[in-house]
Amino acid sequence: MDFPILETDRLILRQLTRNDAKDLFEYFSLDIVMEYYDLATFTELEEAEKLIDTFNNDFENNKGFRWAIELKGENKVIGTCGYHNWFHEHFKAEIGYELNPEYWQKAYMKEAVQPILSFGFEKMNLHRIEAFIDPANISSEKLLFSAGFQKEGTMRDFFFEKGKFVDATIFGLLKDRK
């Protein structure tokens, strides 16, 4: 299967390439972006290249999809969004995303998430899409609510990240209830 390209009014959602490493490093090297991410702030361009390789390996191994979010006409990746933890036998996957802070509060992620959710339900045959976020990540919570997700609860000390245990709030979206 070729990697699917999705389009919106302002965005092209496509497969990441190593040519995108500089754009990813631009924001993965910012503490403000990595505050709620399960990776340390990037200090080397090679870390962005390895992340791109990981996302593409997941696609090649039928474990997920991670789209580059590119601004139409600008040839610049401003974020990524996609699926990981894809459990085929349970018809569910987890969605994840991040965005360069220069583009926050402009509804780009909301615009990107819609075709990705449709792709998950229609092409990946998902019944359930999950998201796990830090309870303090209010912007992510607002995005998920706007996309139709329901807050299902908070799990205490659910992840061990950056040397400490952190809670996770789980959100779910069901195919027949979107």
The whole-number pLDDT of residue 178 equals 54
Residue 21 confidence (pLDDT) above 90: yes
pLDDT of amino acid 38: 85
Give pLDDT tens digits for 35-91.
988 889 999 999 999 999 999 999 999 999 999 999 999 999 999 999 999 999 999
Domain boundaries, the chain: 6-126
pLDDT mean over 161-169:
92
Mean pLDDT (the chain, rounded): 95
pLDDT value at position 176? Answer: 86
The CATH number assigned to the domain with range 6-126 reads 3.40.630.30
| Long-range contacts, 171-176 (Cβ 8 Å, 24+) | 171/130, 171/131, 171/132, 171/133, 171/141, 171/144, 172/128, 172/129, 172/130, 172/131, 173/117, 173/128, 173/129, 173/130, 173/147, 173/148, 173/149, 174/127, 174/128, 175/121, 175/126, 175/127, 175/128
